[in-house]
A = this chain, B = another copy of it.
Amino acid sequence: MEAEAMPMIERLGLKKDDPPVIAPPAPCISYSGTDWGMKIHLVCFGKCPGTGMDTVGTAPASLFSYLAIQAFSPDVVVSAGTAGGFKCKGASIGDVFVATNTVNHDRRIPIPGFAEYGVDKRVTMSAPKLTAALNFKSGVCSSGNSLDYTKEDMELMMEHEACVKEMEAAAISWSASLFCCPVLCLKSITDIVDGDRPAQDEFLENLHKAAAALQEAVPRTLEFFGGKTLGDLY
Contact = CB atoms under 8 A, between A and B. Distances in A.
A155 B162 CA distance: 26
B50 A122 contact: yes
A52 B116 CA distance: 10
A152 interface: yes
A180 B25 CA distance: 9
A110 B63 contact: no
Given A50-B177, A51-B116, A110-B148, 9 more contacts: A51-B117, A53-B114, A56-B109, A60-B62, A62-B62, A106-B146, A109-B146, A118-B145, A150-B153
6 contacts: A51-B116, A58-B145, A59-B61, A59-B171, A63-B175, A145-B145
A117 B53 contact: yes
Interface of A: 25-27, 48-53, 56-63, 66-67, 104, 106-111, 113-114, 116-118, 120, 122, 144-148, 150-153, 171, 174-175, 177-180, 198, 200, 203-204
B109 A147 contact: yes
A178 B106 contact: no
